[in-house]
Amino acid sequence: MRVRFFQKTTASILAGLLILAAPGVGTAESLAGSKGDRRFAVHFPPGSTGDCPKAYKAYVAASGHSAYATSFYSRVVDLYII
């Protein structure tokens, strides 16, 4: 009797949580084609035609991307005297 009551209670609680959480799933927006909030802009030298700029543009255009991690490269470059 006690186990059956526990199972029904657990099922009811999980069903209620599912009903409350379901509307939030639909409000998530797609990141396809959007760069979002950027801390550091991705910098490619002008005229660069290698694989990196192409891969970055393809990644941003793809559906389901989450973030493109990059380091702020200019800080490292400024430390060297060329």
**CA 13 – CA 22 distance, rounded (Å):** 14
Number of domains comprising the chain: 1
pLDDT at position 15 is 78
The whole-angstrom distance between residue 66's C-alpha and the CA centroid of its chain comes to: 2
pTM above 0.85, yes or no: no
- Residues 47, 65, 70, CA angle at the centre, nearest 5°? 50
**Residue 67 lies in domain:** 2-78
Over residues 19-31, the pLDDT tens digits come to 766 665 555 555 5
CA–CA dist 9, 2 (Å, integer): 11
- In angstroms, the CA 81 to CA 22 distance is 56
